[in-house]
Amino acid sequence: MNQTLVMCSPEGFAVNYEINPWMKQQIGHVASALAIHQWQMFFDQLSALTAISVMPASPAWPDLVFTANAGLPLPGEKKIILSNFRHPQRQGETAINRAWFETLGWECIDLPATTVFEGAGDALFDAEDRLWLGAGLRSNENTMHSISQHIATPIHRLALIDPRFYHLDTCFCPLPGGSALYLPESFDDASRSLLARYFGSGLIALTPAEGEMFCANAVCLKQVIFMNQATQRLREELDRLGFMIQEAPLAEFMKAGGSAKCLTLSLGKMECD
């Protein structure tokens, strides 16, 4: 079983500041023991299907647990484009991520200091190896050009317009086989049209309620999709496509604006059996 995911130990996770709408009125309200339990249950669910490498926590950086934001691993290479975080509250994570990946023998790529980029939270590969890049909230106007210097795959920019869905992985989830989940209200008209053009009938619109449940912030391992919570409607829709939803309750982490996908960084290629 090859290593495919990176997670970070949840000790030290907390909400100590507000840098997104989900954090409002949540400072000091994380139940640490419950968060650790939820993380461990999720880890156990995932590890039944794939190998996971665990980074150590750093209490000084409570959002380090959201490893999706560490950077963007390049397909087929032992290289990762490191993140340049927008907010000072997360900028110290970069040195920790660099040290950990370099210890494993990875080459770490730095982007220009003027480029804001928050890793696989805002950059998602689909089943056709296209890269979809979130823009407008956490990534800036330099991001697409900077990323394109290190990757040959086609890159498509998607404009995010709802501050609640500040990273692309909170409102968009490409799936094996060419389909994708998305929350239409999170994107501008041009981005919705672009997604419809490329995904066609495989584009599955989430309802606003499903968006707030973080149904798009999901991890797909072959035909199993892990998400915080799911509606019966969505279960039936994905069952029709051959997928099975497995719920992984992560309410404590949603207080910081993250869920299943945010807690994982994929080092492997999307697969479908």
Q: Which positions are catalytic?
A: 167, 262
- CA 182 distance to own-chain centroid: 13
SS3 content of the chain, % helix, strand, coil (to 5): 35, 20, 45
β-bridge mates for residue 8, sequence order: 55
- Please name the residue that has the structure tokens 């750093």: 58
Edge-to-edge strand order for the sheet containing 79-82? 71-73, 79-82, 107-109
> Measured between alpha carbons, how far is 268 from 73 in angstroms, rounded to an integer?
9
Strand 224-227 with 79-82, pairing: unpaired
Buried b (16+ CB within 10 A) or exposed e, 231-248: eeebeebbeeeebebbeb
Contact 164, 21 (CB under 8 A): yes
Contact 270, 127 (CB under 8 A): yes
> Measured between alpha carbons, how far is 3 from 185 in angstroms, rounded to an integer?
35
